[in-house]
Amino acid sequence: MKIKKNRYQLVDSKTPFFYGWIIVLGAFLGSFAGGGMQSFTFGVFLKPMSEDLGWSRSTLIGALTLRTFVTAGLAPFLGKYVDNKGPQLIMVTSSIAGGIACLLLTQVHTVWQFYLAFILVGLAGGAGMGGVVANATVLKWFIKYRGRATAFSTMGNTAAGAILAPIVGLVILNSSWRMGWILISVIFFFLLFPVSTLMVRKPEDIGLLPDGAKTQSEIESNLSNNKKHITDKSWTLSEALKTNTLWILTFSMLIGGVGVASVVVHEFSYITDHGFSTGVAALVLSVHAVTASCGRLVWGFLVEKIEVKYCMAILYIGCAIGLAILQFFATSVFMLLLFAVIYGICVGGHIVLSNVAWADYYGREFVGSIRGFLTPFTTGASALGPIIIGLIYDTMKTYTLAFNGLLVMFLMGTFVILLAKSPNKIHHPSE
């Protein structure tokens, strides 16, 4: 049995199944653990911490924004490191730092202590919780099955919302919010840490090939038979930056991401503002979350059959249709649920397609560097979008203008993404 030693673990290259699925599991658990400190799960802590500590909810949410910007700022460096050294050290460190941050959160009594803990999450914990590190690694292990692998690996966050959030809620209800953070620390230490030690940069490092292919000719045959213009010819960051396709993709993802993030944050308030009960709004949000999780699988399998730019165009049109239903036709619970299903399925695929696009068009070798370099732009826009929508609402006292703007952005994203041309159709710069 061929065994190759890496930094932290003896990695067996002859597992009874393709080792790439271990990499997918690691990325999933990273996203799952990270989901315990954001979005749905963080929302469970919002009210009890606000009431106990006497802080405003906006003060608490500000920590999430801080974490996002810290992690986004590190992304270019992390992406390059993953390409050169692999994800193992970062994810091992992340699992430890994330667990420590959770334990520190059990001891906070002042705002600065709370923010300091989330800076730690951003500096170390956020690095390996999905995002650039784990997702870029998954892209290196798959070509033919890249869509489904990315879909499964990114489902951790929504799974945290569906599984972890209710459990944490029960713990808080029967004990305290501090005990809730202890529970999440257990996930970091006892689930994420062990799997992090098994992470490997790319299949070639342990004598394997992408997708579990037996020979290089099998990979080449799969590439030549597909209709998607996938390339396994790797472009460096400097080479990719010189192509129009990269900036077209970035701009489209940027404006599309603003819409995706903004509606998610404001839909609950929008629904209640239009006379529906909080129970109905919560139901819509729940359906949205479930369908978003399912949507990742839908788009993950679909992008294996259809070129990624066409998938993204369809996705943005779907988002526009869903938002139009919410804004112009949501006069009943049925129409609200129709919005939740259509919009949820579409937004669930955004993170999948955004990851797949870079590897499909620019190859596996330097995908971490490319994705990491562009993350501050896309993530920053997604973080600022909900804030801008909130400011427009505060000024206008209505979401009409803001949501009309988001509709235009989705349509712009559709048009722009269709302008992208696969760079593997032209002479490769390094040749």
Does the pLDDT value for residue 181 go beyond 60?
A: yes
List Cβ<8 Å contacts ≥24 apart for 320-323. 320/407, 320/410, 320/411, 320/414, 322/346, 323/259, 323/263, 323/403, 323/406, 323/407, 323/410
Tokens linked to 10:
């003896």
* Confidence band for 8, pLDDT divided at 50, 70 and 90: very low
Which DSSP state fits 236? P
Q: What pTM does this model have?
A: 0.87
The contacts of residue 27 (CB under 8 Å, 6+ apart) are 130, 134, 135, 137, 138, 153, 154, 156
Question: What value does the mean pLDDT take over residues 38-63?
Answer: 83
Domains of the chain in start order, with CATH, are 3-204 (1.20.1250.20), 228-425 (1.20.1250.20)
pLDDT at residue 427, rounded to an integer: 46
303-332 pLDDT tens trace: 999 999 999 999 999 999 999 999 999 899
Give the residue from 151, 168, 159 showing the smallest Cα distance to 43.
Answer: 168
Q: Over 70: is that where the pLDDT of 431 sits?
A: no
pLDDT in tens, 336-371: 999 999 999 999 899 999 999 999 999 999 999 999
pLDDT band per the 50, 70, 90 thresholds, residue 1: very low
pLDDT tens digit string along 102-114? 999 999 999 999 9
